[in-house]
Amino acid sequence: MVSIENNKGFTLIEVLVAMVILSVGLLGTAALITGIINSNKLSNRITTATTLAQDKMEEIKRDGYSNAANEARAFLPFPDDKHEREVTVVDASPAANMRTVTVTVYWESSKSVSLQTILAK
C-alpha cells in the first residue's frame, strides 16, 4: 500500500479560500480604480472651466474699466458645447469708481467655477 501522508499540492478547500481572498482584493482594486477615474474627470472639468473663466477675465482686464459689461449665461462653443459662461459687473463695489467683475463658468448645469476681480477708474 502507498502512503498518502506525503501529498504535494493543494486541497479543494485551500484553492477556494485562495480564490475568495483574490476576488476580494480584485473587487477592492476595481472600486479604487473607478474612484480614481471619476476624480480625474472632475479635475479635468474644473481645470477646463477655470481656464475658460481666466481667459474671459484677462479679456475684461485688457478692455478696462469702461468696457466691462454684464453677459447673460450662454453656452460656449469651445471646447465641447457643455460649458456656459456668465459675467456679472457690479458698479460702485466695493467703493466709488470701482467695479466688481465676476466670471462664472458652469458645466452639467449645477457645477461651477467663479473668478472675481475689482476694476478701478
Q: How far apart are CA 59 and CA 117, in angstroms?
A: 12
Q: Residue 7 pLDDT more than 80?
A: no
Q: Residue 3 pLDDT more than 80?
A: no
Q: Residue 63 pLDDT more than 60?
A: yes
SS3 letters for the chain?
CCCCCCCCCCCHHHHHHHHHHHHHHHHHHHHHHHHHHHHHHHHHHHHHHHHHHHHHHHHHHHHCHHHCCCEEEEECCCCCCCEEEEEEEEECCCCCCEEEEEEEEEECCCEEEEEEEEEEC
89-99 average pLDDT score: 95
Give the per-residue pLDDT at 82: 87
The sign one gets for the Cα dihedral 60, 81, 115, 95 is: positive
Cell of 96: 466709488
Q: Residue 2 pLDDT more than 70?
A: no
Q: How far is CA 76 from the centre of its chain?
A: 18
pTM (2 decimals)?
Answer: 0.78
